[in-house]
Structure 1
Amino acid sequence: MTLAPPRPAVGTAGEPVSGLSASDRKSGFYRHDLDGLRGIAIALVAAFHIWFGRVSGGVDVFLALSGFFFGGRLLRTALTPGASLWPVPEVMRLVRRLLPALVVVLAAAAVLTILVQPETRWETFADQSLASLGYFQNWELANTAADYLRAGETVSPLQHIWSMSVQGQFYIAFLALIFGFALLFRRVLGRYMRASLVVLLCGLTIASFVYAIFAHNADQATAYYNSFARGWELLLGALVGAAVGFIRWPMWLRTTVAVAALAAILSCGALIDGVKEFPGPWALVPVGATMLFILTGANRFADPHTRGKLPLPNRLLATKPFVWLGSIAYSLYLWHWPLLIFWLVYADRHSAGFLDGAGVLAVSIVLAYLTTRYVENPLRYRSAPLDIGPSVKMPLRTRLRRPTVRLGAVVAVLGVALTATSFGWREHILLQSANAENLTALQSLDYPGAHVLLDNAPVPDAPMRPTVLEAKEDLPETTVDGCISDFDNVGVINCAYGDESASRVIALAGGSHAEHWITALDLLGKMYHFKVVTYLKMGCPLTTEEVPLVMGDNRPYPKCHTWNERVMKKIIADRPDYVFTTATRPWNIKAGDVMPGTYVGIWETLSANNIPVLAMRDTPWLVRRGKPFFPADCLADGGNAISCGIRRRDVLSDTNPTLAWLNRFPLLKPLDMSDAVCRTDVCRAVEGNVLIYHDSHHISKTYMRTMTGELGRQIGIATHWW
């Protein structure tokens, strides 16, 4: 399941606008239009997630508004002589504002995870639940984005909380920065305090924006979740909060700018692919438009007759429907994404239609209203009635009161229970992973694996191994030993396996689909006395492609090209007897497999240097409706070896595509282990009591051991070494 990474809404409603005079505040001048803007933003976020699978830019509006509201309040406090700089009240305010609704949604998501998701997904939920509660979910997802072994995982129901973590980190850092600066320099700088803070914030904003551009160009998938790359969006809001009270411009200009800003916000998701373009320069569109919209409501301008009045677009957003939607925006954001994901999992769909999407949205709105009214607001406000605008009158019975001990205790118990359960499940998984260490001791008679297909071996009655919970730890030696370059590393890592003292050398080169053969090659090397030297990089086959893409999600992978240039020079300099690498890839756009044209330059280079190639046909990728799936998930969800497999003709052509190139490249030695993985009609998930894949497209180490004999037979014929 691939959906656009979501963005959350965590704006602090009910804050006075920075720069308002005392008379303005006393007269009740409050920017209800910004509450309405929050309502527009949450509508965009939810609609684009549910029906379009895109990023709307709405969350960037939230980030900017959060910086404006929160930053503006802290700046006013720091600039007020004699104001308390004790941070505890601010921290407690944040806790009351953010945690209760979050805990309730996380608890509900935990229950739905157990009911809807297979147990193979519970660990991911536990990890992300803890990360969400600890406000480091963005770094958890950044790590996942850089982890090739987890690249095919289903979209998490908690993925949207990453930017709440960004905001939480910003709040604490900004609080420490502003209060610390004021504590040290308020008396020293005196009337220059405001200018000094503005200069400081300008410097930080520019530094963050420049960093975002570099990070975006280097690794956009990871930069997307990076707090430092996102900081400028909130800092810019804080800067506008410091300047809004000093802006002077006529009503006609403010109206024109407000229309243009609102149009930019509404059209951003349709015109800009935020999944690929943010947090780079294109994020300036929604953030800049938000800043302009805020400034159009500045209360000091040239015409005294329109003082305190708002332009028409602002007045429109200050009406009851938009303000009400803005008042539930935080809870609505929390609810809509997990409900969407759970519905898609339950319905076994990759996207929502109009009717079921509308149903998800309707349920989300109802739950958001209930959460806001009965959880968020009672624990957020100490006293005083809720006032969300002159057009919204709350009945007497809904007026807010001091947080009740009972409600606070319930939320606290939920949080503790969620934390304890998450840690408990993680410990259970660790025990299961420890059991995976004894997979090497499995008896071949009980676990024949590939021998069932190759030698018609009988299949005794024995439980499947690795189990669905052991599968992801059944990894090749090179991964465990750190002998494969990760996404960021362009260096060539050489490790030796097999008979390390042997003079005959096979270079194992390419991506992880070359890597997973190391288990069998290591055994064969020790048996037939040859050394295996690794030249591996995650997700990066040997290719001459100028702009490679990561297989599976098609994001640009420029470091793969850099690594290929280096590794080919290294292989040629080392002059191994053979290079073992993959020679085909799945089509993706149609059934079968193909030898990509970008591999031809590799064969030409190696042939020109008289280095023969053991060209392995790639193993089938398990794909349904264009998306990868994990057989372990399918089996854990009640499927069987056939229903959790794939038809052979969907992933393999009738003949090995490499055979068509042998006349041109005589040093190309084709290897094809397809019959050790697939039957004539189907590639099953389990053969001979052994789970074939540890994810959606990598052979498990246990199953690879059962293919050693057949691989040895084919290499022996190709090399004449035995």
Structure 2
Amino acid sequence: MPAPYQPAGVSVGDVPGVAQTAPRPPLREDLNGLRGVAIALVVVFHVWMGRVSGGVDVFLVLTGFFFTASLIRTAQSGGSLNPFTRIGRVLRRLGPPLVLVLVGVAVATALLLPRTRWVDIANQVVSGVFFYANWELAWTSQDYLAADPSVSPLQHLWSVAVQFQFYLVAIVVVFGLAGVLRRSRGVHRASPPPHVYLVLFAGASLVSFVYAADGTSRLQSWNYYDTGARLWEILLGGAVAALFAARHPRPTHERRSSEFRTGRTALAVLGLAAVVACGFLLDGVNEFPGPWALFPVLATIALIAAGPDTSVGHLLRSRFGLWLGSIAFPLYLWHWPLLIFTLAYSGKPSADLATGAAIIAASVVLAMATVRLVEKPLQAPGGSIPRIAITATAAVLAAALVCGSAGWNFYIQRSVSDLQASDELDPFTYPGARELTDGATAPDADVVPALFSAPEDLPVTSVEGCIADFETRDAISCEYGDLSASRTIALAGSSHAEHWVTALDMLGRDRGFRVVTFLKMGCPLTLGTMPMLGESEYPDCLDWTQTVMSEVEQLGPDYVFTTSTRPREGGQGDYTPDFYVNVWNELTSYGIPILAMRDTPWLVKDGVVYRAIDCLADGGSAMSCGMPRGAALDPINPTLASSFRLPTVRPLDLTSALCDGPICPAVVGNVLVYRDEHHLTATYVRTLTSELGREIAASTGWW
């Protein structure tokens, strides 16, 4: 009789290399069905609802439960403790299906996405091959929001990476302790009692939980992907496995009592209901893996504890439930890329009912084909030709993906180096903003910077590390312009204040003033109001502002240069927030006037932010890839209202150097305006220097 099929990537209950002395516990087919339900919820919520269902959290708990139980059985039975053998088994299960999906994504990227997106996806392909996709996503600060065409087709691989990282930790802990005990006692079958693993896994889970709870209130976009924050969910599943291994079986008469059966059934019903309801009740993007993730995690543990012999257990291990569980892992791998590429091809921000149904159907077909053609052959005996062929093919394809990604990255880095090495542009060929401000005429020429290099066309403060990151509360200060000048401008605020440093540096050296910077990512100066970073609070920004205000007061600059408007959330135009005015009042009390720069237009289409370089690479024009002025800016600069009440506020407005009539183009005077969705290229800001100089002169009277 053949062994029961084990889907790849989750229930890694490998039989040890030696015979087991303890009876192997029955396979929990109900939990395989639960895994299928969890992934089905993930797919449905991603495709149609744009929400996190909590199914991945269920998946992670089951991963910890199954894998830890397998390791403890191996250690207790005297099986081999060779970690490389076990890691090899994991790679053989996870690797080929994952590589197949990565190859599909690479091909679809080359065919459907503009080349400006290739470098990001190439980096994510490599991170997928080596199981650190969650860190790649955290580093690039991608938000795991509702799917839209600008989201990565590999964004869902964070959970696979966290899962693999847990495997490594669990192998080291369980096999490491068992190995130490065997050597110290000279007994082949020696293993720590399961209670030891229970304490270790439960304790580590508690530490990770506290860390995750703190991260939810600090920087959720990082916390969502952070292995340290995610591990508590998997470790708790591991702790439950250790508890099951340590407990004594209940007496038969107790297990058969009606009260016991009723209690287990009620527990299972509540657990399954909570799993299904989780996505409707909780905003997982902003709450998980913090305390609210206990909702799906405890629901999963309830279903584990209830056992297989309940009405819910029978439902989960029905023929449909087992089939759904058997395709769960490849279904998870395929559904997200299909969704993202469909949206990218259609240009729509979300899938309608018919499109979503087609995506799900295609995902199921690909998942079934992956199981039949890849996963099942890999379970054949070690020397079988299909198993060897699939393993070798996956290894070759993985190597090709890594080499191809590395080659493309090398080409991009060389382009970036060439860009950074050349600061001077021919003013006749590349007038940039002077085409709008001075009536200069630009001949036909290639756009600079090159679209591929544009994201790296950064202000000097970013290049030199003179901007605080999201978790830095200390005020980082650098100096530019004429360092010996007696006049000083303090440049303070977020990256939208930062991109003016390029022109301020040139003006300072030419006109004789010093520029002192106080900059922080995503953090405009704010007082009296908790700033937000996406959907989450940004307390580090408030602390940083207070530090900066104290330092600015001590510095006593002639002016503070900062942004004065923001795009109106959920509507058109821009406005001046009250917390900006609070800052200006505070600076006024210090006797420091403010140079208040109106913010640049942000690129948004149909409620979805976009990059001009992607639009241009996809065949768009300077105008079609630009932003309607009326959608981005109010007819009158909102800063003027505050300046009437506060004479110390000197409004600056360079939107006439960014917008050509009703459109704010993506390219002006052969110079690319934007390096991403809303930051100006350093090259374009350089062409704004003369116009900025005229505005500052009018406000300060310095020249």
In 2 relative to 1, CA 86–22 (structure 1 residues): closer, same or farther, beyond 3 Å? closer
Of 146, 153, 157 in structure 2, the residue corresponding to residue 157 of structure 1 is: 153
Question: Whole-Å Cα distance in 1 between the matches of residues 312 and 21 of structure 2?
Answer: 26
1:687 shift after superposition: 0.6
1:468-617 alignment runs, 5 A limit: 468-550=451-533, 553-617=534-598
For residue 698 of structure 1, give the secondary structure of its aligned residue in structure 2: coil
Partner of 2:408: 425
Q: Tell me the alpha carbon deviations over residues 528-558 of structure 1, each in whole angstroms, 9 at most, x when there is no partner.
A: 11111111111111122432012xx333211
Contact 1:9 1:164 in 2 (8 A): no
Question: Whole-Å Cα distance in 2 between the matches of residues 381 and 328 of structure 1?
Answer: 18
Give the aligned residue type for 2:541.
C
In 2 relative to 1, CA 160–121 (structure 1 residues): closer, same or farther, beyond 3 Å? same
In 2 relative to 1, CA 260–22 (structure 1 residues): closer, same or farther, beyond 3 Å? farther
Partner of 2:637: 656
Contact 2:34 2:316 in 1 (8 A): yes
Give the aligned residue type for 1:274.
G
Give the aligned residue type for 1:78.
A
Q: Is residue 227 of structure 2 the alignment partner of residue 210 of structure 1?
A: no
Question: Whole-Å Cα distance in 1 between the matches of residues 97 and 423 of structure 2?
Answer: 47
For residue 235 of structure 1, give the secondary structure of its aligned residue in structure 2: helix
Contact 1:580 1:614 in 2 (8 A): yes
Partner of 1:5: none
1:264 shift after superposition: 0.7
Question: Whole-Å Cα distance in 1 between the matches of residues 483 and 551 of structure 2?
Answer: 19
Contact 1:185 1:193 in 2 (8 A): no
Question: Whole-Å Cα distance in 2 between the matches of residues 104 and 539 of structure 1?
Answer: 37
Partner of 1:135: 131
Contact 2:76 2:191 in 1 (8 A): no
For residue 448 of structure 1, give the secondary structure of its aligned residue in structure 2: coil
Partner of 2:56: 59
1:66 shift after superposition: 0.8
Contact 2:505 2:515 in 1 (8 A): yes
Contact 2:31 2:304 in 1 (8 A): yes
1:638 shift after superposition: 0.7
Q: Percent identity?
A: 49
Comparing 239-248 with 319-328, greater Cα deviation is found at 239-248
1:305-316 alignment runs, 5 A limit: 310-316=309-315
Contact 2:529 2:579 in 1 (8 A): no
Aligned residues: CA RMSD:
2.2
For residue 517 of structure 2, give the secondary structure of its aligned residue in structure 1: strand
Question: Whole-Å Cα distance in 2 between the matches of residues 574 and 25 of structure 1?
Answer: 72
Q: Tell me the alpha carbon deviations over residues 280-300 of structure 1, each in whole angstroms, 9 at most, x when there is no partner.
A: 111111111111111211xxx
In 2 relative to 1, CA 348–661 (structure 1 residues): closer, same or farther, beyond 3 Å? same
In 2 relative to 1, CA 280–173 (structure 1 residues): closer, same or farther, beyond 3 Å? same
Q: Tell me the alpha carbon deviations over residues 93-144 of structure 1, each in whole angstroms, 9 at most, x when there is no partner.
A: 1111100000111001100000111101100111001001111111111111
1:61-140 alignment runs, 5 A limit: 61-80=58-77, 82-140=78-136
Of 171, 176, 179 in structure 2, the residue corresponding to residue 180 of structure 1 is: 176
Give the aligned residue type for 2:506.
L
For residue 202 of structure 2, give the secondary structure of its aligned residue in structure 1: helix
Question: Whole-Å Cα distance in 2 between the matches of residues 420 and 592 of structure 1?
Answer: 46
Comparing 213-222 with 95-104, greater Cα deviation is found at 213-222
Comparing 278-287 with 358-367, greater Cα deviation is found at 278-287
TM-score scaled to structure 1, two decimals? 0.90
1:57 shift after superposition: 0.8
1:15 shift after superposition: 6.6
Q: Tell me the alpha carbon deviations over residues 629-683 of structure 1, each in whole angstroms, 9 at most, x when there is no partner.
A: 1101100111010110011111111111111222311111111101101012110
1:265-414 alignment runs, 5 A limit: 265-297=275-307, 310-382=309-381, 403-414=386-397
Partner of 2:162: 166
Question: Whole-Å Cα distance in 2 between the matches of residues 354 and 542 of structure 1?
Answer: 44
Contact 2:623 2:663 in 1 (8 A): yes
Partner of 1:714: 695
1:523 shift after superposition: 0.8
For residue 509 of structure 1, give the secondary structure of its aligned residue in structure 2: strand
Question: Whole-Å Cα distance in 1 between the matches of residues 404 and 71 of structure 2?
Answer: 37
Contact 2:217 2:536 in 1 (8 A): no
Question: Whole-Å Cα distance in 2 between the matches of residues 14 and 208 of structure 1?
Answer: 26
Question: Whole-Å Cα distance in 2 between the matches of residues 438 and 217 of structure 1?
Answer: 41
Question: Whole-Å Cα distance in 2 between the matches of residues 429 and 717 of structure 1?
Answer: 41
Give the aligned residue type for 1:626.
G
Q: Is residue 239 of structure 2 the alignment partner of residue 258 of structure 1?
A: no
For residue 568 of structure 1, give the secondary structure of its aligned residue in structure 2: helix
Q: Is residue 38 of structure 2 the alignment partner of residue 41 of structure 1?
A: yes
For residue 166 of structure 2, give the secondary structure of its aligned residue in structure 1: helix
1:349 shift after superposition: 1.3
Partner of 1:30: 27
1:341 shift after superposition: 0.5
For residue 441 of structure 1, give the secondary structure of its aligned residue in structure 2: coil
Give the aligned residue type for 2:355.
D
For residue 225 of structure 1, give the secondary structure of its aligned residue in structure 2: coil
Give the aligned residue type for 1:252.
T
Contact 1:13 1:327 in 2 (8 A): no
Give the aligned residue type for 1:284.
L
Partner of 1:463: 446
For residue 542 of structure 1, give the secondary structure of its aligned residue in structure 2: coil
For residue 111 of structure 1, give the secondary structure of its aligned residue in structure 2: helix
Question: Whole-Å Cα distance in 1 between the matches of residues 474 and 239 of structure 2?
Answer: 42
1:242 shift after superposition: 2.4
Q: Tell me the alpha carbon deviations over residues 448-492 of structure 1, each in whole angstroms, 9 at most, x when there is no partner.
A: 001111111111121110111111111111111111111111111
1:203 shift after superposition: 2.0
Contact 1:382 1:402 in 2 (8 A): no
Contact 1:645 1:684 in 2 (8 A): yes
Give the aligned residue type for 1:240.
V
In 2 relative to 1, CA 14–146 (structure 1 residues): closer, same or farther, beyond 3 Å? closer
In 2 relative to 1, CA 279–9 (structure 1 residues): closer, same or farther, beyond 3 Å? farther
Of 614, 617, 626 in structure 2, the residue corresponding to residue 645 of structure 1 is: 626
Contact 1:10 1:62 in 2 (8 A): no
1:200 shift after superposition: 2.2
Contact 2:470 2:521 in 1 (8 A): yes
Contact 2:52 2:283 in 1 (8 A): yes
Question: Whole-Å Cα distance in 1 between the matches of residues 131 and 352 of structure 2?
Answer: 33
In 2 relative to 1, CA 555–199 (structure 1 residues): closer, same or farther, beyond 3 Å? closer
Contact 2:575 2:638 in 1 (8 A): yes
Comparing 228-237 with 351-360, greater Cα deviation is found at 228-237
Q: How many residues align?
A: 676
Q: Tell me the alpha carbon deviations over residues 559-602 of structure 1, each in whole angstroms, 9 at most, x when there is no partner.
A: 11111111111111211001111111111322211111111111
1:439 shift after superposition: 4.0
In 2 relative to 1, CA 439–349 (structure 1 residues): closer, same or farther, beyond 3 Å? farther
In 2 relative to 1, CA 23–491 (structure 1 residues): closer, same or farther, beyond 3 Å? closer
For residue 179 of structure 2, give the secondary structure of its aligned residue in structure 1: helix
Contact 2:287 2:293 in 1 (8 A): yes
For residue 544 of structure 1, give the secondary structure of its aligned residue in structure 2: coil
Question: Whole-Å Cα distance in 1 between the matches of residues 543 and 200 of structure 2?
Answer: 38
1:217 shift after superposition: 2.8
Unpaired segments of 5 or more residues in structure 2?
1-6
1:9 shift after superposition: 9.3
Give the aligned residue type for 1:359.
A
